[in-house]
Amino acid sequence: MNSRQITRSIGKSGVVASAVGLGTWAIGGWMWGGTDEAESIAAIHASIDAGVSLIDTAPAYGLGRSEEIVGKAIKGRRDRAVIASKCGLNWHSKKGNHFFDQDGTPVNRYLGADGIAYEVEQSLRRLGTDYIDLYITHWQDPTTPIAETMEALERLKSAGKIRAIGASNLNAAELQQYVAAGQLDAIQERYSMLDREIEQTLLPIARQHQVAALSYSSLALGLLSGAIDPAREFSGDDQRKDNPRFSQGNRRKVAALKHALTPVAEIHQATMAQIVIAWTLAQPGITFALCGARNATQALDNARAGEILLSAAELGAIDAAVAGHLVAIDA
């Protein structure tokens, strides 16, 4: 691993990974306007070669497509990758609670023991590996007790099929149930300069129980990258097309923030996106920041953020800029 990359532990599991992780939702294509397999594999290779070991995927990202691409990419590099995948979004049976339809296929939230046992085998097959480093419940299932879910996950851990247990998209009461039922190693939640609710709800509980926190949408679906021009138009099934957060007015506010962050960025010879990611990793309780990339250039840009340590003065300047430019951002 590149020695310049910040590395951190996934809770009490003993698993160590790069603080910057590669998120592969976009690589699955769904809701991101399709995918290019060759460019996606190049992005994963570039990440690993730059010392980014944490690769986050899920069966729901393209109904297995993302996991399949990750599996192809990690051949010959498995020992340098820390793979996080997920369970609980099930399109193989009618059990659980209906969540959404993808391309006409009903997808249910289901975290029963039989569903988890089936899903892990499918993920292992698609990934081409015999273990998953961090296995995360993707969305919570109101039809299954959390204690039953944890028991099933701990059986997989005892069998060596997973190394650490995580939960995503949960509330404080559910997090309390998880930590009461067994060793929860991580939570994965939306967090960015624009989405800070978990600072008051989940992170205090996670820190109390030594549970790592993985932030997703650290760049707010790319809005905080500073690379989306106010005039850009989104098309097809790109989820940003009708998202009010991507209004031209909001993009102008982000452009003003980019200008305000320029002095800090110049000190570190970094882009706005890299500074935003480094700021995210400096927030109390945030252990890992997941950042999407669809090609090698984007992946290397994200990796560079994992080498930046911001001073207390720089963090103060960034916080002031955020308060001045993003506090009234719409949606």
Over range 60-68, report the average pLDDT: 91
pTM of the model: 0.92
Question: Is the model's pLDDT at 32 over the cut of 50?
Answer: no
Report which secondary-structure segment, H or E, holds 189: strand 186-190
pLDDT in tens, 84-114: 999 999 998 889 999 998 878 899 999 999 9
* Ranges 57-71, 129-143, 233-247: which has the least confidence: 233-247
pLDDT at 262: 96
How confident is the prediction for the chain on average, in pLDDT? 92
pLDDT at 234: 74
Report which secondary-structure segment, H or E, holds 292: strand 288-292
pLDDT at 198: 98
Q: How far apart are CA 135 and CA 185, in angstroms?
A: 10
**Cβ-based neighbours of 312, under 8 Å, separated by 6 or more:** none
pLDDT in tens, 304-323: 999 999 999 999 999 999 99
**Of 2 and 138, which is predicted with more confidence?**
138
Q: How far apart are CA 253 and CA 228, in angstroms?
A: 12
**Of 3 and 226, which is predicted with more confidence?**
226
Burial of 173 (0-12, 13-18, 19+ CB in 10 A): exposed
Question: Is the model's pLDDT at 11 over the cut of 80?
Answer: yes
pLDDT at 137: 98
pLDDT in tens, 126-179: 999 999 999 999 999 999 999 999 999 999 999 999 999 999 999 999 999 999
Catalytic residues: 61
Over range 240-269, report the average pLDDT: 90
pLDDT at 34: 55
Q: Which residue is listed with tokens 């160590």? A: 16
Model confidence band, residue 242 (pLDDT cutoffs 50, 70, 90): confident
Domain annotation for the chain: domains and CATH numbers: 7-228+272-309 (3.20.20.100)
Q: How far is CA 138 from the centre of its chain?
A: 11
Triad 240, 244, 246: Cα angle to 5° = 55
